[in-house]
Copies of this chain bind each other. A is one copy, B any other.
Amino acid sequence: MNADTPNHTSKDKSYAFEDFLPGKTFRLGPYQVNAQEIIDFAQEFDPQRMHLDEAAGKASLLGGLAASGWHICSIMMRMIFDGYLSDSTSQGAPSVDFVEWKRPVLAGDVLHGTSTVLTARALNSRPGIGLVKLRQELFNQREELVTASENLCFLGMRVKAKQI
């Protein structure tokens, strides 16, 4: 890439690295989780019985037909994509700092939440790209926190800093 040329992915996007200011919050959801998608995901990736069967879920620590933790993360990803990432210069993510599955997500639950910018810095190693740390919190319809997580994300800059 030429140092004077804006990142090509930023032309039609509302959110580039420059817009991810620490403290900025994006709203996520709502997203209703139904029984069939819990079962479909579990059959493919996590066929533990509490994720496949209502009675087994009720007999488990989870207390009902409960989404796999990785399904919750995947739903969170979709909520982030629909919330702002689809309209951003995202270049993918290198790592997750943590995920806390604080309460079960049961069939019929409706999730909503937030994605908040914690830190942002330009990368010396990759001119035109910045690294942003985001915190996500998802709540259910009773406003109980069900999942908290933090991760890093690469974002293209709208206008590349001049090389000096």
Q: Which residues of A contact B (CB under 8 A)?
A: 41, 44-48, 50, 60-62, 66, 68-71, 73-75, 77-78, 81, 85-86, 90-102, 126, 129, 154
Are A98 and B98 CB-contacts (below 8 A) given A81-B47, A93-B69?
yes
A121 to B92, CA, bound (A): 36
Q: Which of B44, B47, B97, B129 contacts A86 (CB 8 A)?
A: B47
Whether A61 lies near B92 (C-beta < 8 A) is: yes
A91 to B96, CA, bound (A): 23
Whether B98 lies near A74 (C-beta < 8 A) is: no
A45 to B40, CA, bound (A): 13
Can you list 5 pairs linking A and B with CB atoms under 8 Å apart?
A48-B81, A48-B90, A48-B92, A94-B102, A95-B101
Output the least CB separation between A132 and chain B (Å): 15
